[in-house]
Amino acid sequence: MSTKSESCSDNCSSCQEDCTDRREEHIDFSEDLHHMSSVKKVYCVVSGKGGVGKSSVTSMMGVTMNKMGYNTAILDADITGPSIPKAFGIKEKARATEIGILPSKSQEGIDIMSVNLLLENDTDPVVWRGPIIANTVKQFWSDVIWTDIDYMFIDMPPGTGDVPLTVFQSIAIDGIIVVTSPQELVSMIVTKAVKMAEMMNIPIVGLVENMSYFQCPDNGKKYKVFGESHIDEVAKEHGLKVLAKIPIDPEISSACDRGEIEKYDKGYLEPLGKMLVKIEEDKMTKIAVASENDTVTEHFGHCINFNIYDVEDGKIINSESIPNPGHKPGFLPNFLNDMGVKVIISGGMGGGAVDIFNEKGVEVIIGASGNAKDAALAYLDGSLKSTNAVCDHNHD
């Protein structure tokens, strides 16, 4: 491979030469949300083929997060097989206004957008070509007004075709949930999903096995209707988690058929819901800086105030100053830990306090000085390290 020629115009997109200076164009397919929308977290629910219960899992996931008190939305991207509105018994169509499309609301308040909410008759088939289908999904993201959504779940079309690809490229997705059933070629499907996720640089949250078994209501025995499950081995092979195993339950299909999925309440997806919340909590940190007003103090126990910084995704989003509630041995570390503090920064600190913080899993940074907020920022960018020099004189 040669270096670029003297006549090079530096426009790689119009040149076929495979030279060492070639720069690949990065094409950004991402679509912006409607300017009035706010969507915090987006999870895609995918499957290898139709009929494994992807839409049912998406619906139940929406119901779970909504019950947990989060503003929830479902974007039905399964354009040719839309089944979300039916599962929620939504009859009212979505409303197009001058400023954007308003999603329909389920009885419990989940915002839902689906092509069925735009068609005159639910039974009208969608006989559109791939690019039009993909554009419709993009519009569901960019032209619908999604108001103050904490969690959005996208019911993806099955497989790894044109539409899923467009969705992954155009929507800011936080994670993928893969739904399988025991009768599928699970290993192949999961491997494909993992490769696609890697290509798109989106993490897989884990696997949900649907129709995992049937528990006989008469004798309580579990029957593996579709044969032995291999989900645990496959998950292990890829370093993934099995997030839930949902049995075959006629109540799921009848609840979907009646449009009452919100009344189905067996909690199979609750652990997954809690895990999604924990993912966010783990990104949040509280840093306390033992201070004298806005300056890092030398003496942890005798500081005047604690400057507390709430951190999300590595950035300070909130700060407050709390007066030192008093200096009694052992009291302050417990006080700060109870407040949810994960990092304490100080100039100096006694061994007793350090031990309690360590026990509680609170990181201790000693040896800091100067402006309190600057110290917190330096901790966040990795430039502030603890000297670990514990004070031996008596100041907690």
For ligand ADP, the binding residues (CB under 6 A) are 47, 50-56, 83, 210-211, 246, 248-250, 252-253, 256
Q: Where are the alpha helices (DSSP H) in the chain?
A: 54-67, 84-87, 130-142, 162-170, 186-200, 231-237, 250-258, 270-282, 331-338, 351-360, 372-380
Contact 151, 70 (CB under 8 A): yes
- Give min distance, CB of 269 to ligand ADP, in A: 11
Burial status of residue 69 (CB atoms within 10 A of its CB: 0-12, 13-18, 19 or more): exposed
- Give min distance, CB of 178 to ligand ADP, in A: 12
Quick check: helix, strand or coil at residue 197? helix
For ligand ADP, give the closer residue by CB, 34 or 54.
54
For ligand ADP, give the closer residue by CB, 47 or 170.
47
Buried-exposed string 303-325: b where 16+ CB fall within 10 A, e elsewhere:
bebbbbbebeeeeeeeeeeeebe
CA separation for the pair 376, 366 (Å, rounded):
12
- Give min distance, CB of 132 to ligand ADP, in A: 21
- Per-residue CA distances from 177 to 12, 63, 121, 143, 244 (Å): 37, 16, 31, 25, 11
CA separation for the pair 145, 81 (Å, rounded):
23
CA separation for the pair 363, 248 (Å, rounded):
46
- Give min distance, CB of 71 to ligand ADP, in A: 23
Q: In the 8-state DSSP scheme, what is residue 371?
A: B
The four Cα atoms 11, 17, 20, 25 give a dihedral, to 10 degrees, of 40
For ligand ADP, give the closer residue by CB, 248 or 390.
248
Contact 45, 177 (CB under 8 A): yes
- Give min distance, CB of 256 to ligand ADP, in A: 4
Handedness of CA 254, 259, 265, 267 (dihedral sign): positive
- Give min distance, CB of 322 to ligand ADP, in A: 50
- Give min distance, CB of 304 to ligand ADP, in A: 59
- Give min distance, CB of 123 to ligand ADP, in A: 16
- Per-residue CA distances from 89 to 145, 156, 255 (Å): 21, 20, 10
Instruction: Tell me which residue of 193, 125, 126 sits closest to 159, measured CA to CA.
Output: 193
- Give min distance, CB of 190 to ligand ADP, in A: 15
- Give min distance, CB of 45 to ligand ADP, in A: 8
- Give min distance, CB of 14 to ligand ADP, in A: 44
With a CB cutoff of 8 Å and minimum separation 6, the contacts of 13 are 25
Contact 80, 238 (CB under 8 A): no
CA angle (56 as vertex; 223, 126 as ends), nearest 5: 130
For ligand ADP, give the closer residue by CB, 83 or 346.
83
